[in-house]
Amino acid sequence: MSYTWVLGRRALREALRTPEALLPTLFIPMFFLVVNLGQAGKIFPSSSTGFLDGQNYAAFQLPSSMLLAASFGTAALFLVEDIEGGYFDKLRSSPVPRTPLVLGRLVAELVKGLGIAVVLVLLALPFGIHVASGFVGFLLLIALTALWAVVYVGFMQLIALKTRSAAATNSGGLIFFPLLFLTPNFVPRHMLTRPMEIAATFNPVTYVMEALRSLILQDLVWGRVLAGFGVVGALGVVMVLLNLRMIRHYD
């Protein structure tokens, strides 16, 4: 664990020293929150829209913004820079077990994800949003967002390690957008058309989004929350195992 933390701290330092890569992870999700609220806020007034549970439409949209913020995967692009610049080989030539070489960045992403999620919630407060599930719910909201960031960067690290190409890694990261739009992004799942509802049901991001949404709009609904954590946990295990396999066979 100490090697993982040493490498994780280095990855965090790298992120903090690249504000031009960090700031868009806050700005773009907030931009979408404002735009989506502006476009659909009047269609769904809180007084007559049951699925908002008394809050405004910004509260319904905040999970999308949080997931988007957690799905930039810039850590994987930094990994490609390490590979292309030769620094990754320097790390590989040290007697560190191979596992921390990939886990270090994932740990850094978890810490970064926690910070970004907290800042996003704070930025969302002026829109009249509050976390209905209380302080425990707030902690779960932040944790689930950060864990999703780990899953997503784990996926992008796989592309980075396989292709060793910034262009391919960047393009691979765009897969999030179709996944995001195949969720109950604008309305609850039961209000989607039948084909979209089926697609959303098979989309794992749906369960993460619904868990985040329930934490913001409702008291603790454990079924929803556990489904979100279950999806993130299962995908997280798969991503970590695939990353470990990839680094052990990296040539």
CB–CB of 85/166 below 8 Å?
no
| Smaller CB separation from another protein, 76 or 231 | 76
Q: Is 242 in the site for another protein (CB under 8 A)?
A: no
The SS3 assignment for 150 reads: helix
Alpha-carbon gap, residue 105 to 149, rounded angstroms: 11
**In the complex, what is the shortest distance from the CB of residue 17 to another protein, in angstroms, rounded to a whole number?**
5
Q: Is 180 in the site for another protein (CB under 8 A)?
A: no
Alpha-carbon gap, residue 63 to 214, rounded angstroms: 9
**In the complex, what is the shortest distance from the CB of residue 249 to another protein, in angstroms, rounded to a whole number?**
9
**In the complex, what is the shortest distance from the CB of residue 8 to another protein, in angstroms, rounded to a whole number?**
11
Query: What does the block give as tokens for 211?
Result: 């868990």
- Find the part of the chain contacting another protein (CB under 8 A) among 10-18, 179-187, 193-201, 209-217: 10-18
Q: Is 31 in the site for another protein (CB under 8 A)?
A: no
The SS3 assignment for 78 reads: helix
Q: Is 210 in the site for another protein (CB under 8 A)?
A: no
- Find the part of the chain contacting another protein (CB under 8 A) among 67-75, 89-97, 175-183, 234-242: 89-97
Q: What angle do CA 197, 220, 235 make, to 5 degrees?
A: 55
Q: Is 20 in the site for another protein (CB under 8 A)?
A: no
At residue 53, φ and ψ (nearest 5 deg) are 50, 40
Q: Is 102 in the site for another protein (CB under 8 A)?
A: no
Q: Amino acid identity, residue 5?
A: W
Q: Which of 10, 43, 128, 237 binds another protein (CB under 8 A)?
A: 10
Q: Is 240 in the site for another protein (CB under 8 A)?
A: no
In the block, tokens 């999970």 appear at: 63
Q: Is 82 in the site for another protein (CB under 8 A)?
A: yes
**In the complex, what is the shortest distance from the CB of residue 121 to another protein, in angstroms, rounded to a whole number?**
28
Alpha-carbon gap, residue 164 to 143, rounded angstroms: 30
Nearest CA among 216, 204, 138, 217 for reference residue 175: 204
Q: Is 248 in the site for another protein (CB under 8 A)?
A: no
Q: Is 89 in the site for another protein (CB under 8 A)?
A: yes
Residues between 117 and 156 that touch another protein (CB under 8 A) = none
Q: Is 95 in the site for another protein (CB under 8 A)?
A: yes
CB–CB of 8/111 below 8 Å?
yes
Alpha-carbon gap, residue 122 to 129, rounded angstroms: 9
What residues make contact with another protein under the rule CB under 8 A? 3, 6-7, 10, 13-14, 17-18, 82, 85-97, 251
